[in-house]
Chain A
Amino acid sequence: MSNVLILVDHASGNISKTAGELAAFGKRIGAVTALVLAEPGSGAVIADQLKAFEIEKILIAESADFAKHGIPAIADAVASVLASHSPKALLISTSARGKEIAARVAVKSNSGLITDAIDLSENLIATQSIFGGSFTVHSHVKTGTPIITIRPSAIDFTATPSNPTIENVTVEISDIAKLVSINNMQPAVKGGRPELTEAKIVVSGGRGTNGDFSKVESFADSLGAAVGASRAATDAGWYPHTHQVGQTGKTVSPQLYVACGISGAIQHRAGMQTSKTIIAVNKDPEAPIFDLADLGIVGDLFAVLPQAEAAINAKKHA
């Protein structure tokens, strides 16, 4: 019986929305086994939330070492389950942590690794969008168990509840995995706005804001959008680095991307050019961003955005 193993991402007792996405991709390949690595006593609560998705079996491994030692301990556990269950593939969601877990498991199990896939076929051909979306690549793993990290929000699916069997497993954590101690963890403060990489609409500001993101933010809020920034804006300290869109920042692919006061250097384009619709607002009529915009407004963002915001709010309340 062929199965596919998915690693469930969770924080503070809640599963990430990527868990359902991985299950949906996994189902294309085989029966889904979900691996939950949790603090002692907290696995059942997490497993319960997974019943919302089509999963055949849930494996729970509990250990205090996961929070105490982080990625190396998690990788030890994943590799040992990989060895004992021999799945057809291992799916992990793309994030700094997910990719590093995948990296260590790939070395431990001598398995090929494909990162940040945006699609995955039933015969394990992964689709990646590389060089800032300028190329689409299909590839597959030819050695070991395919380990594939999948970009969040890469799949639209309808959740089908299921009644998975639950099995507790014990895992050995090696001494090498305990070399690092995590002394304190401060979870990121989630603002009221959606996550950049998960948002349907992204509004970004650049050099043209001159450091004042207030109009960009309030326009974004009228649309329920996430706020992004160009490298020029984050380098200048105008907006947090975690909001940077572009080659060395986040890659976003929303329904709508609004670039405000951003010239559109390749650096930035690499992070947003696969957006479905692009609108640009810039004072400079020669700005390269206009070359890829579906609508370009040559004007001052401090005049254009408040007017657009008022029109959107008026429509909402009409």
Chain B
Amino acid sequence: MKIAVCVKQVPDSWAEKKLVNGLLDRAGVDAVLNDLDEYAIEEALRIVEPLNEGSETPTHTITLISMGPDRATEAIRKGLSMGAHDATLISDSALAGSDALATSKVLAETIKSGGYDLVFCGTESTDARMSVIPAMLAERLGWAQLTFAGVVKVDVSGNKVEIDRMTDAGVESMSANFPAVLSVIEKINEPRYPSFKGIMASKKKTINTKSLSDVGVAASEVGLATAWSVVDDAAARPPREKGEKVEDAGNGGDKLAEFIFEKRIV
């Protein structure tokens, strides 16, 4: 079987983020693989590894697919060192400022020609946090949507996949035939750290860089100028004023309660 995992390079989620002209300043911060995508890669690895057991060249493969600037190869390399087999990066200056509708279009066009059975995603990127790309991909591809999975069971010979969708609403058990788009929640597994062997092996793995025309999308369909929504203005929130800090001298709890009464919160 063939699995694609959509991954995104994002600013380090532990770093302060800045806006420049209403767009995220991606150049000025450390960029990493979106950590929620690691769960998607891990889940895909857990599916193909037992299937590839004992075979010299793997017949069941994982391809990472990413849209981003050329430097996104750093994030992709991490996914390859975890064990994904190869990667496709769609990189084109015309893509700058693309919104979710444009991004989903480029990813869907790329996936369409790959002959994949399953596409895995994280539930969201830690920068935009929209959680819409997996649903948009399923809609654009006309594939089954199995998102927010906390459990994934794949029946390779039966071409079937079952998930438990876990959200605030509850747990839904769902099933569909291949092909399907899945997103996985961070509780699903514990992503592995790349081993030294994995890191060395990743250096020999192929990252195919494609332009927009390679995937069959016109530059006029993407980018900031054709975005479906526009930012009017953006402003940094003023920093919070630092309040009082007191050492607990046996009456810290009383002080805490007193503060709440003073504020008339209860």
Contacts and interface: CB of A to CB of B under 8 A. Distances in A.
Contact of B16 (A111, A266, A294, A308): A266
B186 interface: yes
Interface in B230-258: 230-237, 240-248, 251-258
Interface stretch (A49-57, A180-188, A206-214): A180-188
B104 to A, nearest CB: 7
Contacts of A136: 234-235, 237
Given A135-B236, A185-B170, A256-B263, A295 B256 contact: yes
Q: Which of B123, B167, B229, B235 has the most CB of A within 10 A?
A: B229
Contacts, number: 275
A70 B170 CA distance: 13
Q: Which of A181, A188, A279, A295 has the most CB of B within 10 A?
A: A295
Interface in A197-224: 200-201, 223-224
Contact of A107 (B126, B140, B173, B186): B140
B193 to A, nearest CB: 15
Q: Which size bracket describes the interface of B in this complex? A: 35 or more
Interface string A73-97: 0010000000000000000000111
Contacts of B176: 179-181
A111 B228 contact: yes
Interface in A112-150: 112-116, 125, 129-131, 133-144
Contacts of B104: 107
A116 B132 CA distance: 12
A293 interface: yes
Contacts of B70: none
20 contacts: A96-B148, A97-B169, A99-B131, A100-B134, A103-B132, A104-B138, A113-B101, A115-B130, A116-B129, A134-B236, A179-B176, A180-B174, A223-B260, A247-B13, A248-B13, A248-B36, A277-B263, A295-B256, A296-B244, A308-B256
Interface of A: 11, 70-72, 75, 95-97, 99-104, 106-108, 110-116, 125, 129-131, 133-144, 176, 179-188, 195, 200-201, 223-224, 241-242, 247-248, 255-256, 258, 265-267, 273-274, 277-279, 281, 285, 290-300, 303-312, 315-316
Interface of B: 13-17, 19, 22, 35-36, 99-101, 104, 123-124, 126-127, 129-136, 138-140, 142-148, 167-177, 180, 185-187, 227-237, 240-248, 251-261, 263, 265-266
